[in-house]
Structure 1
Amino acid sequence: MDYATHYDVGDRKRDGGINEDSVAVSVFEQGHREGFLGYDREGPDGAESDDDRTDEGGGDGAAPTAEAADGEPGEGRPDGGPDNRSAAVFALADGAGGHDAGDAASYIATTAVCERLAGTAVRAARSEPEGFDVAVDEPLAAPPRAADLEAAVAEAVVAAHREVLEYAADAGEQAHATVVAGVVVGGRCHYGWVGDSRAYVVNAAREEILPLTTDHAVVQRLREAGEIDDVEALVHPRGNEITRAVGGSGRDDPETATVDVETATVPLYREDVLLVTSDGLLDAQTEAAKLYEWYVDAGRDEEMAAVVRDRAVTDDEIREAVLSSPSLADAAERLVELANERGGKDNCSTVLLHDGTLPPTPEDPPARGAGAGPPVEDRETLVERD
């Protein structure tokens, strides 16, 4: 599994500002039998495989592109199984600006979450030895269900919430942060979030971007209520107001306090890049209030809407930045550059992950966007009695 991160204080805060974002990634890579053979080694006929999207052992392998989406992995086991297996844990947190210790809150949140979930990811990968044709039953635990892994993510975020509250109480400061965190194992991402940092899947085979989260934010509520449209949401004056966060002032009891963590599970495919980002990427425009006023005063006409979309950062631009980049590292850097080009109003951080050992994208993949619900195979049977 390849990954890349990039983070920046933001152009507007470059003189005297601090970066309150924090990111953490932990990757477990397991090889067995023949080991990981890569995607660009020579095949039986001496020709190289035409899929060179990843670099062996590297954290900056090439991002999948639409042109490369049809490539086949190098020769592996005769049964077509994987030559290696990966699991990863990620966490991204954005400290709430304007509070005393947003940077401390984000640091505590990402490190606490990954500390608790790293073992969960390894145990989940280890619980399926048949992936390497190894017959082991006892003493291995049964593979966890999607619901179990979602619960583990939620519990880790709540634990981080309590640690931030404890810090705030001891320091006599306020400390808040958004969090997006997850476990990637067995071809699925089990994730949870609090606040308005986001997760996306960018798929090269279908050339699409799918939001995996919905913001816990005032603007999201206004959109859902039909009070503003999608263009207004890009530049709304209340774009920095969130409705849920980890941490607080420390007045709550750190031993019993909790926070509502929204969770979900989605399948991942060979052509996917999992992207996690703080709101500094989406809320980069320093003239947002002016653009909002112009759009409303123009009667929300399409000409002014085009101006707003051109100056703000849209999901389509994020998709193009990922798909057109030669590597994950380049994509991560390009996204931060894009935020700064549009104003760099806030700190911006990104995490990108790609697993080239996964099966290819099916012709008719299941719905994976935010709110799509669990995959059919994960739905539990309910018995309704008369």
Structure 2
Amino acid sequence: MDYATHYDVGDRKRDGGINEDSVAVSVFEQGHREGFRGYDREDADGAESNDDQAGAGSTGEDPTGEDSTGDRPGDADDGGDDDPSGSDRDPDNRSAAVFALADGAGGHDAGDAASYIATTAVCEHLAGTAVEAARSDPAGFGVAVDEPLAPPPRDEDLESAVAEAVVAAHREVLEYAAEAGEQAHATVVAGVVVGGYCHYGWVGDSRAYVVNAAREEILPLTTDHAVVQRLREAGEIDDVEALVHPRGNEITRALGGSGRADPGTATVDVETATVPLYREDVLLVTSDGLLDAQTEAAKLYEWYVDADRDEEMAAVVRDRAVTDDEVREAVLSAPSLADAAERLVDLANDRGGKDNLSTILLHDGTLPATPADPPARAAGARRAVEDRETLVEQD
């Protein structure tokens, strides 16, 4: 599994500001028997290259100090699981990852501490869950092992584990706030990637996306817990207004608080979901600083409303703000995950860099190819009936 991270204080805060974002990634990589043989592909100038020496993918620790530079999805040919002898076989490796990204709420005393606590606490709570989930399926290696392994967890089990980890982080932030006598709030997106699925949860307006090279699309996996999202859902503003709305910095849900709540029993509402991942996918997690980068947002909003929301002014707003389509193009056109992460930060800073911004990108080239008719994965999509597990409640 390849991953890359990037984070920046933002151009507007570069003189004297602090970065209140925090990111964390933990990858479990397991190989067995012959080992992973890599993928043959043609690079941009037509020369063949092979990723054998990278094993199943970089985990972000490069001797040069640079972020992970795994090949972007879409470069692999359709025979990604072919071995060098020409016979198809499953790769003898598998990956699991835990990720967390948090954005400390600006204007409060300790947003940076809140985001740090959130990401480290979440990954600490979930790392064992990810390894246990991967380990529970030895059949992938053709190994017959039952006891003492736990049965593979259901989607609901892993979503619950993510929610419990986020609540545990919430309580740690509250405990810190009480001891420090400060306000400490943060948003968070966190999850477990294992067995070809991402099980994730979020609080606030940091976001997760899937960018798919085979279909050249970007799919939002989260919906903001924010005032602007409520206004959109109520039909009070349109999508263009949402890009530059004056209340774009107001969230309706966050971790932490003032510390007045009992850290031992406090809870927070964590929204969760599960989606399948494919070989051509990049999982992108980002703070709102990427999308809410325009320093002239209030002026653009006023111009758009005064122009009676006509399409000409809408085009001006889209051109100056950061849109999902631009994020998609930045990821798909980059030669590596590290380059994509850097391009996204540059894009936000070019549009004003109003806030701290951070990104996590993950890609697993050992997964199956994107099907011709993939299931709906965007936020709010209902799972197909055949994908739902039947549960029997015992009396």
* Same fold per superposition (TM over 0.5): yes
Corresponding residue of 1:302 = 311
Residue 275 to residue 375, structure 1, CA distance change in 2 (3 Å): farther
Q: Please list every run of 5 or more consecutive structure 1 residues that lacks an aligned counterpart in the other structure.
A: 43-47
SS at match of 1:280: coil
Residue 53 to residue 7, structure 1, CA distance change in 2 (3 Å): farther
Give 1:50 shift. Answer: 7.2
Corresponding residue of 1:198 = 207
**1:208 and 2:217 matched:** yes
Give 1:381 shift. Answer: 3.5
Q: Distance in 1 between matches of 2:172 and 2:84?
A: 45
Residue 19 to residue 338, structure 1, CA distance change in 2 (3 Å): same
Q: Distance in 2 between matches of 1:21 and 1:383?
A: 43
Give 1:7 shift. Answer: 0.1
Q: 2:341 aligns with which of 308, 321, 332?
A: 332
Q: Distance in 2 between matches of 1:54 and 1:322?
A: 24
Residue 135 to residue 118, structure 1, CA distance change in 2 (3 Å): same
Give 1:379 shift. Answer: 1.5
Q: Distance in 2 between matches of 1:254 and 1:54?
A: 47
SS at match of 1:5: strand
Corresponding residue of 2:61 = none
Q: 1:177 aligns with which of 177, 180, 186?
A: 186
SS at match of 1:181: strand
RMSD: 2.1
**1:259 and 2:268 matched:** yes
TM-score, reference length from structure 2: 0.92
Give 1:147 shift. Answer: 0.2
Corresponding residue of 1:9 = 9
Corresponding residue of 2:80 = 72
Corresponding residue of 1:168 = 177
Residue 41 to residue 243, structure 1, CA distance change in 2 (3 Å): closer
Corresponding residue of 1:39 = 39
**1:142 and 2:151 matched:** yes
Q: Distance in 2 between matches of 1:201 and 1:127?
A: 26
SS at match of 2:40: coil
Corresponding residue of 1:240 = 249
Instruction: Report % sequence identity.
Output: 86
Q: Distance in 1 between matches of 2:48 and 2:385?
A: 34
Q: Distance in 1 between matches of 2:124 and 2:243?
A: 35
Q: 2:229 aligns with which of 220, 238, 262?
A: 220
For the Cα contact (< 8 Å) 2:209–2:221, is it kept in 1? yes
Q: Distance in 1 between matches of 2:351 and 2:50?
A: 34
Q: Distance in 2 between matches of 1:292 and 1:51?
A: 49
Q: Distance in 1 between matches of 2:173 and 2:161?
A: 18
Corresponding residue of 1:380 = 389
Corresponding residue of 1:45 = none
**1:365 and 2:374 matched:** yes
1:160-200 CA deviation, whole Å, 9 max, x = no partner?
Answer: 00000000000000000000000000000000000000000
Q: Distance in 2 between matches of 1:347 and 1:302?
A: 31
**1:26 and 2:26 matched:** yes
Q: Distance in 1 between matches of 2:309 and 2:151?
A: 55
Q: Distance in 2 between matches of 1:154 and 1:313?
A: 30
For the Cα contact (< 8 Å) 2:41–2:49, is it kept in 1? no
1:12-33 CA deviation, whole Å, 9 max, x = no partner?
Answer: 0000000000000000000011
Count matched residues: 378
Q: Distance in 1 between matches of 2:84 and 2:52?
A: 16
Give 1:373 shift. Answer: 2.6
| Equivalent residue runs for 1:88-127 within 5 Å | 88-127=97-136
Q: Please list every run of 5 or more consecutive structure 2 residues that lacks an aligned counterpart in the other structure.
A: 59-67
Corresponding residue of 1:343 = 352
Q: Distance in 2 between matches of 1:149 and 1:365?
A: 22
Give 1:37 shift. Answer: 1.3
Give 1:101 shift. Answer: 0.1
Give 1:376 shift. Answer: 4.1
56-65 or 345-354, which deviates more: 56-65
For the Cα contact (< 8 Å) 1:269–1:360, is it kept in 2? yes
Residue 115 to residue 382, structure 1, CA distance change in 2 (3 Å): closer
